[in-house]
Amino acid sequence: MSNATKTAVPLLLVVAVAASAFYFLNQADVPAPAPVSPVAQQPAEKPADPPPEPAAVAEAPPTRQEPIREAAKPRDSSARTDAPQGIKGRVLLPNGAPAAQVPVFLMENSMNDPINLYLKAKQGVRTPPVSSGHTADDGTFALGVGVHGKDYDLRVASDEYPELNHQKIRPHEEEWYDTGDLRLEPGNVVAGLVVDEATKAGVPEATVFLVNSNQAYSMVATPGRERGIAAVTDRTGAFRFANAPQQGLVNLAVEAAGYASAQLLNQQVKPDGPNEYTIEVARGQPIAGVVVDPDGKPVAGISITASGLSAKTPQTATAVSQPDGTFAFESLREGPYQLVTNSSQHNEAKSPPVMTGDRDVKIVLAQRAFVKLRVLAANRAPVKSFSLSLKRHFPNSPLGIGNVPEFGDRRINPADFPAEFGGEWAVVRGLPPGDFVFQLQDNQHAKSLSPPFKVAEGEPAPEVEAVLTLGAGILGLVVDDSGRPVAGATVSTDMSGAFLGDGGPFFEIFRSFIPEKHSKASVKTDAQGRFRLGKLAFADYMVRVAHPDFCEGNALDIKLDTEGSFVDVGTIQLSRGAIVEGFTTIGGEAAGQIKISITPPQPEGPPKAEPSTMAQPQKPPKPMFSASAISETDGRYRLLKRVPPGTYKIHASRQSGSNNPFETLLDMRETEQQLVVNPGQDRLAVNFNLSRR
């Protein structure tokens, strides 16, 4: 199974669960809400005051909420309070008093780049916080971010109370989003004993780690809590946590000198207690050895995982080789283990079964292969500067390629052409075994594929010569509803079959698994509405057309396969559509970080059967459309795209907070409305009032 496949499986499961829950909630027999009535046409400008409610919307106008407080004064340089945007708020103790000097961290949400974060976590690379600091004496904090439009998680890591996680906050450009008051909750007590498995005597000075099961496999752990919160046993072997979660499932893990680690997984914490556990630990035995290269030289910094091979050794441990190549697992449960290495520059090595007590394990680690690459321009002149990606090649499907997530994109420069090969060949190192092609591009050519080549351990370095192509192009005309040219529209390329609306985060995750054969390019239409895109790779395309005064247009199923040719997609007509905007509130008070989404309604009932078996004319598929926006601090929102005439579903859900998918689905169910956009409408106002929780 490839690394990409291993990564995709858990993500697919998450999507499947969420989709199933959403389908279930949508089966409830509730009357459909009335269509939203349109409001009078107005100039498409940001409203200064809340627009009047449409007749079919029952929510009360939002109440203006004054700013709660000024941003906290900077205490730590890592808080980045000079950034143009960020997150601020106040942390309170359970009794309402300010929580002073509590560590706060802003972490990147794991769904922003799940593949990269997964690979880092696999290699033991910790993801640092985007910004961090401590609450001031009045409990306030301010953490800046340099990049807006991404999701961030806020972690409040008190030593006295359970960790508070406020997830998926997306600050707008030059906005300091105020979370308001975040109240810490009283912790639950989890206590118990660590005892010797053989003698049942208490084990002193053992470290017990406690982690919420929901966070046990987090790819972005809170700094200092990568293994959870910790407690140390006293001289009787007793341990006690006073800041455990109030309820839910927790994992407990124990480490003690001279003993093998032990775990208790998925233990139910009861809010009314008692939550007491006895964890037995067995005397541990070592496995030790050395990591060397084929010439016998030590290799440092290699991550080695020991995995138990029997039911009596349900243990996994990790060690790192030292500068002299040595490594050691000091305390493992007695039994057989397999050792597996992980390195971005070396091939994976798996040992045969190793028994505990063996201190002379030798792991021979082969350097990953390198390839000699020569790139020529279309006129056969050597090219010494270009970008490079490694793609899987499938001999049984010559036109198919696949991503290689563990091999990052690279920039090749003249320094990569060593003299030992006459300065004619670039050396590309760190390739795993397999069948591959290179995807290449420079400023003068289209994205091009090299001939396929095979990398095998112990074989000579392959020599790959690739010729860059000038590619092909796309041209066309953009007009409005009345046929007048539209100047200044942005025309951009996309892969054929890409989602025609806002696919959301799950679509972006899946999209990252799809190799991009196409070239990404964009251009503005001229005064006559014409556009021309050149130097495009041979692939299947669609083009998107965007203009702030119109709905998005597109041209589909464009095939480029001939050097120097241009495909004329004809005329792309843009419809005016309507701006959809409004306010979001929670319990009548203006609230930000509410996601508003619009999608076409699902067809009701099973599809109608054809009246006869005779061939029927095929209707062209109706283009999908969706759009979304996240409300600002004052509750204002505006969908990022104009909405074409038609009938839609529109709903709102809390974007940040606990990130419980079922709560999100409940929000969507509670707020769902039917939206009708009639031809000629310029603006619609839809407000949402969510229930307090």
SS3 of 312-379: the string is: CCCCEEEEECCCCCEEEEEEECCCEEEEEEECCCECCCECCCEECCCCCEEEECCECEEEEEEEECCC
Mean predicted confidence (pLDDT) in 74-85: 78
pLDDT at 26: 39
Residue 584 has pLDDT above 90, yes or no: yes
Q: To the nearest 10°, report the CA torsion of 120, 657, 168, 93.
A: -70
| Banded pLDDT at 693 (limits 50, 70, 90) | confident
* Largest Cα span, the chain: 89
Q: How confident is the model at residue 14 (pLDDT cuts 50, 70, 90)?
A: very low
Looking at residue 603, its pLDDT comes to: 56
Nearest to 492 by CA among 426, 427, 442, 558: 558
Instruction: Spell out the SS3 assignment of 484-537.
Output: CECCCCEEEEEECCCCCCCCHHHHHHHHCCCCCCCCCCEEECCCCCEEEEEEEC
Give the model's pLDDT for residue 446.
95
Residue the block writes with tokens 């906005």: 175
Residue whose pair of structure tokens reads 């601020």 in the numeric block: 88
pLDDT at 509 over 80: no
Task: State residue 345's pLDDT score.
Answer: 81
Please report how the helices 114-122 and 3-25 are oriented relative to each other, as an axis angle in degrees rounded to 10: 130
CB atoms within 10 A of CB 660: 13
CA 63 to CA 47: how far, in whole Å? 16
pLDDT at 119 over 70: no
- What token pair was written down for 362? 């030798």
Structure tokens at 185: 């909750």
- Among 340, 479, 456, 450, CA closest to 386: 450
- How many CB atoms sit inside 10 A of residue 455's CB? 19
Say if residue 647's pLDDT is above 70: yes
Residue 602: per-residue pLDDT: 57
Query: 77 falls in which pLDDT band (50, 70, 90)?
Result: low
Closest among 7, 21, 80, 14 to 668, alpha carbons compared: 21
Q: Which of 377-381, 434-438, 614-618 has the lowest mean pLDDT?
A: 614-618
Q: What is the pLDDT of residue 39?
A: 35
Helix (H, G, I), strand (E, B) or coil at 553: strand
Supply the pLDDT for residue 613: 47
pLDDT of residue 63: 42
For the cut 50, the answer to whether the pLDDT of residue 621 exceeds it is: no
pLDDT at residue 118, rounded to an integer: 66
Whether residue 64 contacts residue 590, with contact meaning beta carbons closer than 8 Å, is answered with yes
Per DSSP bridges, beta strands 490-495 and 646-654 are unpaired
Helix (H) or strand (E) holding 27: none
Helix axes 3-25, 504-511, angle to 10 degrees: 160
Is residue 85's pLDDT more than 90?
Answer: yes
**Per-position DSSP letters for 394-459, written without gaps between them:** ETTEEEEEEE-TTS--EEE-GGGS-GGGTT-SEEEEEEPSEEEEEEEE-TTS--EEPPPEEE-TTS
Check if the beta carbon of residue 645 is closer than 8 Å to that of residue 575: yes
Q: Is the pLDDT of residue 511 over 90?
A: no
pLDDT at site 643: 92
Pick from 130-134, 500-504, 676-680: least confident? 500-504
Contact (CB, 8 A) for 63 and 41:
no
Higher-pLDDT residue of 626, 295? 295
Phi, psi angles (nearest 5°) of residue 171 = -70, 140
Domains of the chain, CATH where assigned:
1-61+577-605+615-693 (2.60.40.10), 77-183 (2.60.40.10), 188-281 (2.60.40.1120), 285-364 (2.60.40.1120), 369-462 (2.60.40), 472-573 (2.60.40.1120)
Percent over 90 (pLDDT), the chain: 60
Residues forming beta bridges with residue 249, ordered by sequence position: 268
Average pLDDT over residues 510-524: 82
The tens digit of pLDDT for each residue in 307-347 reads 999 877 777 889 999 999 999 998 899 999 999 998 878 88
609: pLDDT strictly greater than 70? no
Max mean pLDDT among 506-520, 611-625, 656-670 falls in 656-670
Q: Tell me whether strands 688-690 and 579-586 are parallel, antiparallel or unpaired.
A: parallel
Inform me whether the pLDDT recorded for 48 exceeds 70: no
Average pLDDT in the 302-311 region? 90
Residues 337 and 309 sit within 8 Å (Cβ to Cβ): yes
User: Is a pLDDT exceeding 60 seen at residue 2?
Assistant: no
Quick one: average pLDDT of 365-385? 93
User: Which is more confidently placed, 526 or 51?
Assistant: 526
- Considering the chain, what is the average pLDDT of its residues? 83
More confident residue, 39 or 563: 563
Residue 626: pLDDT band (50, 70, 90) is confident
Q: How confident is the model at residue 215 (pLDDT cuts 50, 70, 90)?
A: low
Is residue 207 within 8 Å of residue 234, measured between CB atoms?
no
> Which range, 419-423, 443-447, 458-462, is most confident?
443-447
Instruction: Tell me the residue type at 141.
Output: F
Strand partners of residue 21:
none
Q: Is the pLDDT of residue 421 over 80?
A: yes
**Given this model, what pLDDT does residue 661 score?**
74
Which contacts qualify for 78-82: CB closer than 8 Å, 24 or more apart? Answer: 78/129, 78/131, 78/132, 78/133, 79/131, 79/132, 79/133, 79/141, 79/142, 79/143, 79/144, 80/130, 80/131, 80/143, 80/144, 80/145, 80/146, 81/142, 81/143, 81/144, 82/144
Contact between residue 683 and residue 42 where contact means Cβ atoms under 8 Å apart: yes
Q: Whose CA is closest to 440, among 503, 326, 519?
A: 519
Which comes out higher in pLDDT, residue 316 or 72? 316
140 contacts 72 by C-beta, under 8 angstroms: yes
Mapped onto helix, strand or coil, the DSSP state of residue 167 is strand
* For residues 580-607, average pLDDT: 83
- DSSP for 216-228? TT-SSPPTT-TT-
Are 573 and 553 contacting, i.e. CB atoms less than 8 angstroms apart? yes
